């Protein structure tokens, strides 16, 4: 079973983290938050964006990058950054990998990226656009990883409530 992980490095905006938390619940993905956070985990904007899903979220927090590395020594990590040479579709996401995103104002520190060039990925954009919204970026890359893992453990078909599709 695919057990993907999203890592947010020092997220700053509670609504983004709330939206990402909701996406993680909907996909069975674990969320890892590396402090310092730009908000409190009981902040109303976080819970508003995450709605009633936040209580179902598998979330772990870490005091800093070193704490995260110490507690996840064998993690295969992909680093989502606008600075990467490869796109997010150029890699094969393992079923238990971690996909890391940086804080909204600065991204992932370049010291971390430099040590992980081969597993750094980007979302293509035109012109000089700095970046996409963090929660949108997470959804784009996470769903590619899920697709590559054949949407393992996910509901693949929807249904109408009052009518049937074949009527």
Within a 10 A sphere around the Cβ of 8, how many other Cβ atoms? 23
Residue among 23, 25, 28, 22 nearest 1 (CA): 28
Find all residues with CB under 8 Å of 114, minimum gap 6, and list them: none
The helices-and-strands tally (H runs, E runs) of the chain is: 5, 7
Residue 120 labelled as part of a binding site: no
Residue among 125, 122, 94 nearest 108 (CA): 122
State the Cα torsion 147-22-88-93 to the nearest 10°.
Answer: -50
Residue 131 labelled as part of a binding site: yes
**Cis bond upstream, residue 21 (ω within 30):** no
3-class DSSP assignment, residue 79: strand
Residue 127 labelled as part of a binding site: no
State the Cα torsion 118-129-15-35 to the nearest 10°.
Answer: 40
Residue positions forming the annotated binding site: 102, 123, 131
Residue positions forming the annotated binding site for S-adenosyl-L-methionine: 102, 123, 131
């Amino acid at each position: 079973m695919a057990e993907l992980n999203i890592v947010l490095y020092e997220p700053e905006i509670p609504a983004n983290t709330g939206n990402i938390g909701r996406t993680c619940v909907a996909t069975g993905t674990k969320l890892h938050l590396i402090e310092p956070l730009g908000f409190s985990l009981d902040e109303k904007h976080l819970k508003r964006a995450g709605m009633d899903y936040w209580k179902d979220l598998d979330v772990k927090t870490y005091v800093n990058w070193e704490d995260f590395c110490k507690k996840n020594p064998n993690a295969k990590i992909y680093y989502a950054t606008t600075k990467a040479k490869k796109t997010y579709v150029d890699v094969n996401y393992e079923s238990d990998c971690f996909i890391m995103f940086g804080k909204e104002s600065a991204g992932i520190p370049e010291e971390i990226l430099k040590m992980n060039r081969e597993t750094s990925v980007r979302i293509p954009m035109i012109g000089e656009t700095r970046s996409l919204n963090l929660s949108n970026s997470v959804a784009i890359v996470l769903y590619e990883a899920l697709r590559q893992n054949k949407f393992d453990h996910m509901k693949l078909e929807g249904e109408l409530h009052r009518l049937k599709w074949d009527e």
